[in-house]
C-alpha cells in the first residue's frame, strides 16, 4: 500500500539517506519534501530528485508551514530539518531556536489545526545529556539532562514540545534521541568528516600533511547513517507515540574517542607521515566528554540491530571525501 511521506531536511545528511532508504525499500511510497526555493543545496538528492515531490516552504514561517502541510496531507513525517552543527550555536542561539524549536512548533500546529493523524518522528540528540559522569553510564531515557551548548537546549525544547502536543492534543509524535551517526554526505564541519576531508586534501596534494583538529578525547558510540535511517523507519513503524527511546550502536567495537577515530583514519591514508595538532580555533567553550547509551528498550520493541561495522563508517566517510575532492567539490 502506498503512503504519503513528508521529509523535512531531505537535502541534508540524514534526510537524504532517509529518502534513499524509502526509495529502495518502499517503492510505492509517495515522497514529499520541503525545500527553501533556490536556497537548498540539492547535491545530496540529485540522484533521486525525480522521485521526490517538492514543496517550497520555510519551516520557520507558520503561514508557509501550514500551507505546505495542507498541500501534502502526509501520513508520516520525518522531521530532519535542523541547525545541527554545535559550534555556531553559541553565536547564533536565536537562529537555532527559530529552526529547531519554532520550526517544530509550526509543524505541530499545522497538524493540530488540520486534525492530522499522521505519525511524526522527532529525532533528538544524545548531545542533550551534556555533562554525564562516568558513574552515570550508560545513558538511559531517564538520565538527567545537563546540556552545555545552545544547540542541545534547542533539541530538548523540540523534544518536549512534541511531548506536550502529544499529551495535550493526542498528536502521534514519535520521540527519539540518537547517538553519534556518521557516514557519507556529513559535512566537514563535524569531527570525523573534518578529519577525512583534510586527509583527502593531503592525498591530493592540496595541503601539508598536518591536520588541524579540535578537542579529540570525548568518547562516543558510533553508528553508520545507513543503520540509523533503518532505525528511524523501524521507529516510525513500531514505537508508541509519546514515549522516548534512545537509538544507537552500543557494541564495544563501536565505542571510541575521536582521537582513536582520527588515528585510524590516518592509518587508512594513501600517503605516509600525516600528523595532527590541536588548534584552539576548533575547540568549543564546553565539551561533552562521554555519550554512551543503553538502547535496549528500542531494540526490544523494534528488533533493530546495527549491521555496518565501525571500520566502514570511517572508510565510507574517507572515500566520500576523496570523491568530492576529485570532483572539485570542496
Question: pLDDT, tens digit, for every residue of 3-31?
Answer: 999 999 999 999 999 999 999 999 999 99
pLDDT at 178 over 60: yes
Helix 310-327 to helix 191-203 angle (10° resolution) is 50
CA separation for the pair 307, 206 (Å, rounded): 35
**pLDDT (0 to 100) of residue 39:** 86
- Parallel, antiparallel or unpaired: strands 244-247 and 172-178: parallel
Name the 3-class secondary structure at 287.
Answer: coil
CATH code reported for the domain at 4-181+222-247: 3.40.50.720
Model pLDDT for residues 192-243, shown as the tens digit of each residue? 999 999 999 999 999 999 999 999 999 999 999 999 999 999 999 999 999 9
Domain 186-220+252-291+308-327 has CATH 3.30.1540.10: no
Spell 192-202 as b/e; 16+ CB within 10 A means b.
Answer: bbbbbbbbbbb
What percent of the chain stands above pLDDT 70? 99
Q: Give the single-character DSSP code of 144.
A: P
What percent of the chain stands above pLDDT 90? 97
Model pLDDT for residues 60-78, shown as the tens digit of each residue? 999 999 999 999 999 999 9
Average pLDDT, integer, range 254-275: 97
C-alpha cell at 217: 578525547
> Domain residue spans in the chain?
4-181+222-247, 186-220+252-291+308-327
pTM: 0.97
- pLDDT level of residue 1 (50, 70, 90 thresholds): very low
Contact 321, 197 (CB under 8 A): yes
Model pLDDT for residues 276-313, shown as the tens digit of each residue? 999 999 999 999 999 999 999 999 999 999 999 999 99
Cβ neighbours of residue 160 closer than 8 Å, sequence gap 6 or more: none
Model pLDDT for residues 236-262, shown as the tens digit of each residue? 999 999 999 999 998 899 999 999 999
Mean pLDDT of all residues in the chain?
97
**pLDDT (0 to 100) of residue 2:** 63
Amino acid at each position: 500500500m502506498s503512503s504519503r511521506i513528508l521529509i523535512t531536511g531531505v537535502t541534508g545528511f540524514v534526510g537524504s539517506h532517509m529518502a534513499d532508504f524509502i526509495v529502495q525499500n518502499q517503492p510505492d511510497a509517495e515522497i514529499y519534501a520541503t525545500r527553501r526555493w533556490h536556497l537548498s543545496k540539492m547535491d545530496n538528492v540529485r540522484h533521486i530528485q525525480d522521485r521526490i515531490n517538492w514543496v517550497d516552504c520555510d519551516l520557520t514561517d507558520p503561514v508557509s508551514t501550514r500551507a505546505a502541510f495542507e498541500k501534502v496531507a502526509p501520513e508520516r513525517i520525518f522531521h530532519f530539518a535542523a541547525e545541527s552543527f554545535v559550534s555556531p550555536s553559541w553565536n547564533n542561539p536565536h537562529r537555532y531556536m527559530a529552526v529547531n524549536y519554532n520550526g517544530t512548533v509550526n509543524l505541530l500546529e499545522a497538524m493540530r489545526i488540520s486534525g492530522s493523524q499522521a505519525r511524526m518522528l522527532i529525532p533528538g540528540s544524545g548531545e542533550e545529556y551534556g555533562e554525564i559522569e562516568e558513574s552515570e553510564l550508560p545513558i538511559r531515557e531517564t538520565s538527567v539532562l545537563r546540556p552545555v551548548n545552545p544547540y542541545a537546549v534547542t533539541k530538548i525544547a523540540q523534544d518536549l514540545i512534541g511531548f506536550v502536543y502529544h499529551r495535550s492534543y493526542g498528536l502521534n509524535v514519535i520521540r527519539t534521541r540518537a547517538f553519534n551517526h556518521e557516514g557519507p554526505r556529513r559535512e566537514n564541519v563535524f569531527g570525523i568528516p573534518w578529519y577525512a576531508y583534510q586527509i583527502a586534501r593531503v592525498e591530493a596534494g592540496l595541503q601539508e600533511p598536518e591536520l588541524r583538529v579540535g578537542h579529540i578525547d570525548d568518547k562516543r558510540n558510533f553508528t553508520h547513517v545507513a543503520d540509523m535511517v533503518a532505525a528511524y523507519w523501524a521507529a516510525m513503524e513500531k514505537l508508541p507515540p509519546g514515549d522516548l527511546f534512545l537509538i544507537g550502536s552500543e557494541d564495544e567495537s563501536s565505542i571510541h574517542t575521536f582521537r582513536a577515530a582520527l588515528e585510524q583514519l590516518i592509518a587508512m591514508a594513501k600517503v605516509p607521515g600525516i600528523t595532527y595538532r590541536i588548534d584552539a580555533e576548533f575547540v568549543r567553550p564546553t565539551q561533552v566528554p562521554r555519550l554512551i547509551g543503553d538502547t535496549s528498550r528500542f531494540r526490544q520493541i523494534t528488533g533493530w540491530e546495527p549491521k555496518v561495522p565501525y571500520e566502514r563508517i570511517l572508510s565510507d566517510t574517507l572515500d566520500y571525501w576523496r570523491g568530492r575532492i576529485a570532483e572539485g567539490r570542496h
